């Protein structure tokens, strides 16, 4: 009887210890932070599964802490960017709290790194500080801040809508965007066509950035990709205006002139063969896919119709007729 009592006491003591210790379980959060999505009506089980998938904390621990806290019916939908250090209980508290709703930071496909920096430096009209003071690293020290191995950062941030806590670190957001682009690029490169003329994932990033700037219409991106891939295969120059504009930098006043197309720069694809030396913008997922695995086509030219769509042509004669119709109005 005494042994039974001792055993029950030991079990009770262990349960009590777990009751107090589990909420202090440290979450595993990488240096760049981690984004956690909680959907409307999301269950505790789904949340726990997601935290385990993201390697934040084991599912069983999250569920146990949630039940200790009574969090199961208090989860608030939204996107949350967590930075280390955090405990499982602190993460659940943030998701329960109305103050945990995050500020939306949207980076548009086709933006340049300079434009991304400008948007992160802007103070909102309501005066609420989005980021902590001095948390945006200087452009000159960005590679060091990201601890990245890439040679050129232009194009290496994934454009999307991110949700951050007021007063969080801009550096953490940049790390997350950089990580996302590296993951998206690796995923796209794994799906590349067997006969692609692109030699590396970086080539794919460069071409995707050009496709992104050439059209804002998702439906046209695959065929725009096929035009440029076909040109690369036969050694034809890409002859794309967005690269020329990028090469002009601050000299570009919104009007691309004939002399600009004839002036040689590393980014002038009218005067130089192959791809430019770096990406020219931040490409989205559709453009990455269009760069690595465009549909088979015989198209070598395209021109804007003026309504957001493009007219594709197989040869120069067809292209000249399209230009006369849609550009010259003949």
Q: According to the per-residue pLDDT averaged within each range, which of 142-146, 203-207, 312-316 is highest? A: 203-207
With cut-offs at 50, 70 and 90, classify the pLDDT of residue 295: very high
Instruction: Indicate the burial class of 87 (C-beta count within 10 angstroms; 0-12, 13-18, 19 or more).
Output: middle
Range of the domain at 76: 19-100
pTM of the complete model? 0.72
pLDDT, tens digit (0-9, with 9 covering 90-100), for 86-113: 888 887 888 777 555 567 788 899 999 9
Tell me which of 100, 119, 148 is where a domain ends: 100
Tell me which of 53, 73, 100 is where a domain ends: 100
Helix residue ranges, H only, 215-315: 221-234, 241-248, 258-262, 285-292
Rounded CA separation 296/227 (Å): 10
Specify the CATH number for the domain of residue 45: 3.30.1490.480
Q: Which helix (H) or strand (E) holds 80?
A: strand 78-82
Average pLDDT over residues 42-71: 81
pLDDT of 231 higher than 60: yes
Q: For residue 144, is it within any domain? A: no
CA 250 to centroid of chain Cα atoms: 26
pLDDT of 13 higher than 60: no
- Which 3 state secondary structure label does DSSP give 7? helix
Rounded CA separation 68/285 (Å): 41
Q: For residue 280, is it within any domain? A: yes
Tell me which of 100, 117, 144 is where a domain ends: 100
Q: For residue 270, is it within any domain? A: yes
Question: What local confidence, expressed as pLDDT, does residue 11 receive?
Answer: 45
Q: For residue 165, is it within any domain? A: no
């Amino acid at each position: 009887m005494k042994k039974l009592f001792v055993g029950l006491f030991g079990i009770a003591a262990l349960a009590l210890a777990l009751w107090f210790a589990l909420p202090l379980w440290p979450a595993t959060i990488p240096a760049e932070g981690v984004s956690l999505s909680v959907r409307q009506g999301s269950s505790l089980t789904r949340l726990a599964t997601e935290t385990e998938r993201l390697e934040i904390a084991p599912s069983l621990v999250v569920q146990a802490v949630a039940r200790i806290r009574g969090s199961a019916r208090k989860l608030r939908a939204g996107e949350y960017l967590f930075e280390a250090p955090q405990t499982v209980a602190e993460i659940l508290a943030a998701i329960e709290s109305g103050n945990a709703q995050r500020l939306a930071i949207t980076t548009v496909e086709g933006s340049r790194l300079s434009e991304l920096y400008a948007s992160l430096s802007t103070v909102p009209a309501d005066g609420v500080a989005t980021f902590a003071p001095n948390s945006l690293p200087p452009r000159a020290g960005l590679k060091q801040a990201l601890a990245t191995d890439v040679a050129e950062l232009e194009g290496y941030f994934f454009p999307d809508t991110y949700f951050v806590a007021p007063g969080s670190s801009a550096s953490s957001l940049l790390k997350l965007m950089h990580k996302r682009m590296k993951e998206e690029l690796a995923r796209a490169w794994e799906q590349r066509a067997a006969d692609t003329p692109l030699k590396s994932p970086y080539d794919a990033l460069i071409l995707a950035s050009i496709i992104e700037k050439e059209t804002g219409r998702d439906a046209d991106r695959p065929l725009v990709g096929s035009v440029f891939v076909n040109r690369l295969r036969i050694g034809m120059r890409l002859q794309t205006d967005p690269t020329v504009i990028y090469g002009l930098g601050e000299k570009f006043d919104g009007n691309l002139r004939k002399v600009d197309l004839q002036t040689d720069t590393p980014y002038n694809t009218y005067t130089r063969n192959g791809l430019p030396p770096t990406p020219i913008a931040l490409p989205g997922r559709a453009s990455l896919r269009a760069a690595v695995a465009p549909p088979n086509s015989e198209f070598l030219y395209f021109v804007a119709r003026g309504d957001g769509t493009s007219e594709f042509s197989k040869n120069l004669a067809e292209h000249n007729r399209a230009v006369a119709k849609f550009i010259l109005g003949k």
